[in-house]
Amino acid sequence: MHPLRLPARARVLGTLVAVAASPLAAQPRGGAPAPDFAIATVTAGDATPRTLTLSGLRGRIVVLAFFPKARTSGCTAQMKAYRDQYGALFGTDSLVQVIGISTDDPRTLAAWATELGTPVTFGADTTDAVGKLYAAKMPILPIHKRHLIVVGKDGRIAWEARPFRELAQPAYDSLAAAVRRARSAS
């Protein structure tokens, strides 16, 4: 090994350790109270942003689906899977609220939701505030990682996938099982 490469690798490792130890890496864990937030939300056919708070959804199961960018291939596959499997994943009643969260602006998210015809509510985290709370913000880029968090009716984190594998059916099977467990929890 060339002696000059070792210090460069050591510097990279030091950078990775510093990123891992940063506040962005502190993430809520299963069983912990889910951090509250307020976010502007839009839905298919309604581009008027409405403020939603996590605490306002207490008593319901909330699926926080952080994703990088609207209209990208992986994100489109994920939201189409939610749309196409909605009943199997989340049930047909109103007990489950699915919120897709990205740093896109509300207008972009509303247009995309309408194009997809999805029942998912979209949250516009344009300042990365919610992404930071849930350690979903990319360290350098102004986008989110693909994380999925299920918050139980009690406001505690019931399940999480970090990262969520949007192209693998077993990820959706695990999500459906987590939602079923959250439904049966008192």
Neighbouring CB atoms inside 10 A of 90's CB total 22
DSSP code string of the chain: --TTHHHHHHHHHHHHHHHHTSGGG----TTSBPPP-EEEEEETTEEEEEEEESGGGTTSEEEEEE-S-TTSHHHHHHHHHHHHTHHHHH-SSSSEEEEEEESS-HHHHHHHHHHHT---EEEE-TTSHHHHHTT-B-SSSSSB---EEEEPTTSBEEEEESS--TT-HHHHHHHHHHHHHHHH--
Q: Residue type for 145, please?
A: K
Position 5 pLDDT exceeds 70: no
**Model confidence pLDDT, tens digit, residues 126-174:** 999 999 999 999 998 999 999 999 999 999 999 999 999 999 999 999 9
Give residues with Cβ within 8 angstroms of 125, minimum separation 6.
39, 101, 102, 103, 131, 144
Give residues with Cβ within 8 angstroms of 145, minimum separation 6.
66, 68, 136, 137, 138, 162, 163
Give catalytic status of residue 75 as yes or no.
yes
Question: Is-cis flag, bond preceding 163, omega within 30?
Answer: yes
**Model confidence pLDDT, tens digit, residues 42-90:** 999 999 999 999 999 999 999 999 999 999 999 999 999 999 999 999 9
The confidence score (pLDDT) of residue 20 equals 31
* Spatial separation of the C-alpha atoms in residues 75 and 167, rounded to whole Å: 10
The confidence score (pLDDT) of residue 28 equals 61
Position 117 pLDDT exceeds 90: yes
Catalytic residue among 75, 150, 171, 175: 75
The confidence score (pLDDT) of residue 157 equals 96
The confidence score (pLDDT) of residue 31 equals 84
The confidence score (pLDDT) of residue 185 equals 87
**Model confidence pLDDT, tens digit, residues 8-52:** 333 333 322 223 333 333 556 678 999 999 999 999 999 999 999
Q: Which residue has the higher pLDDT, 5 or 140?
A: 140
* Spatial separation of the C-alpha atoms in residues 26 and 48, rounded to whole Å: 33
